[in-house]
Chains A and B, each alone.
Chain A
Amino acid sequence: MTPPHTAFARQDTDGRMHGFPSGRPSLVCFIKEDCKTCNLVAPLLEAFQKAFADQADILIVGQSGAGNEVFRKRHALTVPVLDDGDCAVSYVWNFEVVPAVFWTDGAGRPLAHFEGFVREEWHDLAKKMSVVLGRGCDGIVWSDYPEWRPGCGSKHLDPDVNDRLKANAEDSPIRARRIDIGSSDDVSEFMYDQGFSDGLPLVPPTPERVMRMLTGTRRNPQEVVADVPPNMGPATIEKIAINAVMAGCKPEYLPVVIAAVEAICTDAFNIHGVTATTMGASPILVVSGPIRHKIGMNMKLGALGADNRANATIGRALRLVVRNVGGAKPNGVDRSTLGSPSKFTMCFAEWEEGSPWEPLHVERGFEEMDSVVTVFAMTSGPVQIVDQESRKPDEVAGSLGLGLEGVMLSKIHKMPTDALLVVCPEHVKTLTSEGPYPKARLRRRIQEVTERPLSDMVAGLTSGAGLPRSLASKMSIDQLGAPTSKFADDQYIHIVVAGSEAGKFSACFHGWVTGPTGSVAVSRKIETY
């Protein structure tokens, strides 16, 4: 047996409650006040009311809020017009077009259903009702009505309304605590007061906005992507989506944010240490592969700066997840002495098409058509490296090396620290002006030009940092003269291409401690559909 339609109880325009089912046969018709076809059928519904009201419930369910009363008065209806302004009943009754007609038995089981206006269907309905109720329905001149008129899309299918209804439905994928903000409260101020913000205004994560954000992924909203340090808060897809909404992301950015959360919460990346260090590290995100174009990321002019929504909000969403889900906040576990603007956001894409080298993600073992996010723990940057004069490959490579010597402190060499070098297109041109200039050669060149005798690193009057004099005094002349490059290993120098085609200005980000005791760069594939 066909199951009955979902029960409901709604007020009519006079404030009287009407329940469905009532034990009597019912005709339920959903309408919108501004729908021409709904207005066309109003006299028919009134005729049904006059003919059958003593044996059946004739109910008009209006989606138009205050417009329901306008509709009732316009047609001088005695049929009750029930309020479904929030479309909650329309949503569960699940139809597409108004007028939507449902003829049911006393238990609410369907006997007939149609949408829009086909004269034949309405005429048949009148006949069916007459048979069931044992009397005719006079006074309708069917020939006065057109054969067919299209209805209007039901209001519950409007995207905004539908997202809200989905979010509130019994089978809603949303499980997060709902916070009702009083009408006297300013939403933005409230979110500041609750400590949700990184200092900048937030987009309110309403259930409908979060529902829309979740359309950016096919993953189960309750799937736990990672436990986010320091509080080990479970980052579900839903929680990430909420923070992505607040950050200003579009749904298509969500997979990048999810992959970034996965990446930073690995033991290798060590987001706890990155967040807690007084040195002030933060995740820097580099996005690779086709998704860069799909979501409109900036990889050219101003790539490391402001104005591109994807660049700006993906990095911010990650930061909000760390502070809100993980609980890492300044004065709490975030103990950075100075902090860094990168703690707000730092995310950009590599301009792979402008690079002479294989893209970062391919270098790191992924397929070219994969979309990948790579996270680096960096303490400062972007620091500009200016060289407008070099015309030879090794000359400009040398300048890039000298530009990197300032990582942490220029005097400190052989450090287990990463650096992310962003080579601008004009420097790329110079590097490759005489033929290929592989990344390995560039890394070697950087190490060559930063070679200094170990004695330069001994603590002294100019700078007390470096190799302790007590240790240096025990070294031989040969040992103190040993050439010492900036980085403990070539592999710590990470290289990408970005920036506009005009300007000989590359940049670098300075790393934190790399290796198992610090943070190692991690790449994660971005799920794309």
Chain B
Amino acid sequence: MNLLEIKGLRAKVGGELILRGVDLTVAAGEVHAIMGPNGSGKSTLAAVLAGRPGYEVEDGEILFLGRDLTDLAPEQRAHLGLFLAFQYPVEIPGVSNMEFLKAAIDNLHAARGEPQLSTVEFMKRVRELAGRLQLSPEFLKRGVNEGFSGGEKKRNEILQLLLLEPRLAVLDETDSGLDIDALQVVAEGVNGFRSGDNGILLITHYQRLLDHIVPDVVHVLSAGRIARSGDKSLALELEEKGYGWLAQ
């Protein structure tokens, strides 16, 4: 079953065409890695999928579970089961993590007609996830990402991923700014999410993340198009040769 089908996607940011015809299909149970040089459109693709304001789809289709996403608001995409782990998670002082996470899960459940988690169930779940991701329980009381280290912010993204249980997770350079230990924790979290029902789109610059989260397919995005696709060995080849040879 296909979770995501992107067909001929062209998208602009600030009037500039960045994605120039992306075709990509992610089936349930698959992990796809998107690699590519700076400016190739990796983060733009993630933003367009999640519906970030200011990113304009000029042409093409994004089908998620068979439904066209392009006219849906970000929250509607989330309700359908799409999740974007931010490259730069936003700090929101004054809104506690607990308040934020509860609002997120309550709204997801309400939109899907599912019963709400009681506060006790919610706290238990969040504490358990915080423990798995080595986040102090105190983090729940702090403002969203407020004063968090880079590693804590990324672990908080993964905590949200595990709490909200989407069908497709788009991880935008989740490995950036992580030391080796934090990378391990984050990778374990992502691997714990991985199942036959959901999919992962993993955007990264570096092969090292793929040692921990092994992809089924690796794509190289170059100048707004998928220039090459292959199995995990493609990532190793890129690590060895760089991106320049693809343009030849």
User: Do A and B truly interact?
Assistant: no
